[in-house]
Amino acid sequence: MRSWKAFVLVRLIRLALVLAGVAVVAFVLVKLSPVDPIDAYLGPDIARVGPEQRALITEKWGLDQPAGVQFVKWLSSMLTGDLGWSVTYNASVADVISERFRSSIVLMGLAWAFSGFIGFSLGIWAGANPGSWSDRIIRLYAYILAATPTFWIAILLLIVFSVGLRWTPVCCAAPIGMLPEDVTLLQRLHHLLLPLIALSILGIAQIALHTRVKMIEIMQSDFVLYARAQGATMLDIVLHHGARNAALPAITVLFASLGELFGGSILAETVFSYPGLGSATIEAGIRGDVPLLLAITLTATLFVSVGNTIADILYHVADPRISSASEAWQGIAE
């Protein structure tokens, strides 16, 4: 019990430090950027505002104060739950993020699960038969895709399936002009299909290559030799020794890839005009929507950090050597 509490506490402190660090860096970067929040706010009306009015807005928003004071003010309002107002969407930042996150998490979650499952299976198969034709094909596929930018794949898919074959819609998460409550699940999935494929393809290559290397190592290990000496069949070895032992590095890669997944979703969502967090990031960046941009940055940080923490916990659960080692370490520490 005690070790669990300590683990959670350490993790929370670490998470808070990471978030604080990212907040500082993000804030400094926005301050250094040529984006002027007032210009962004005014948009086309910029010509009709005189210098006096500008000064008034600057003073009202506190932009005339030193950057440090602005940061503390921003951080304290963040901590009280006030994320600010998004000019781009004319809604509170909290609302925009929660709504966008809901549609993004479906896309990212499915892409993550698919790339994990398919990539792991391909990696196991290729690693169990190294040098075979299937291994060569899987490897070729993985190398090509690992080197392919997501946005390019996305555009290619769009050209082939939406424009050429007209199998899939060109944009958005639902048919244009329909009320959200009228959209059926099938329509949603139809719109999700291409972004999902574009986003999964990248992850599959990563997981497959990592799993393949680990699997080759396992197949040459002493315990697989012993299993063969016991008369185990290939399937028996792959299932009981291979998949089990290869799962650990795959889990790590899968959770560590959450950052890339988030980055990929920005590109894929933009190409398909999918209304998720990714396309909101681009919008916020282009329009200089500082509160939204900062809040998305922190959300992404939280997302990736939680993913890494889950990977750590799973690693402890899955590998008996690690859990007993950390118990021993705690024994020494106490």
Partner 1 sequence: MSLLEIERLTVSFHRRAGLLRRVNVDCVRDISLAVARGEVLALFGASGAGKSLVAHAVMGLLPANATAGGAMRFDGRLLDPPAQAALRGSRIALIPQSIGHLDPLATVGQQLRWAARRAGHPMTVPGAVEGALSRFDLAPAVAATFPHALSGGMARRVMLAMTTVSGADLVIADEPSNGLDAENTARVFRCLKSFAEAGKAVIVISHDLSAALEIADRVVLLRDGQVAAQERANAFAGDGEALCAAYARAIWNALPQNGFSRGHHEA
Q: Are 70 and 37 in contact (CB under 8 A)?
A: no
Burial category of 15 from C-beta neighbours within 10 Å (exposed 0-12, middle 13-18, buried 19 and up): middle
Which whole-number Å values give the CA distances from 22 to 28, 71, 75, 296, in the listed order?
Answer: 10, 13, 12, 11
Nearer to partner 1, 139 or 241 (CB): 241
Contact footprint for partner 1 (CB under 8 A): 221-223, 225-232, 236, 240-241, 244-245, 248, 318-321, 324
The Cα–Cα gap between 187 and 181 comes to: 12
Nearer to partner 1, 123 or 242 (CB): 242
3-state secondary structure of 210: helix
Nearer to partner 1, 9 or 225 (CB): 225
Minimal distance, residue 111 CB to partner 1, in Å: 28
Minimal distance, residue 166 CB to partner 1, in Å: 49
Nearer to partner 1, 14 or 244 (CB): 244
- What residues form DSSP beta bridges with 86? 91
> Residue 233's CB: how many other CB atoms inside 10 A?
10
Minimal distance, residue 333 CB to partner 1, in Å: 20
Task: Locate the DSSP E strands across the chain.
Answer: 85-86, 91-92
Nearer to partner 1, 211 or 305 (CB): 211
What is the DSSP annotation of 167-191? -S-SSSSS-TT--GGG--HHHHHHH
Burial category of 274 from C-beta neighbours within 10 Å (exposed 0-12, middle 13-18, buried 19 and up): buried
CB contact set of 245 (below 8 Å; sequence gap of 6+): 214, 218
3-state secondary structure of 6: helix
Minimal distance, residue 115 CB to partner 1, in Å: 24
Minimal distance, residue 241 CB to partner 1, in Å: 5
Minimal distance, residue 17 CB to partner 1, in Å: 33
Nearer to partner 1, 95 or 327 (CB): 327
Nearer to partner 1, 182 or 222 (CB): 222
Minimal distance, residue 322 CB to partner 1, in Å: 10
Minimal distance, residue 232 CB to partner 1, in Å: 5
Nearer to partner 1, 121 or 221 (CB): 221
Q: What is the CA radius of gyration of the chain?
A: 24
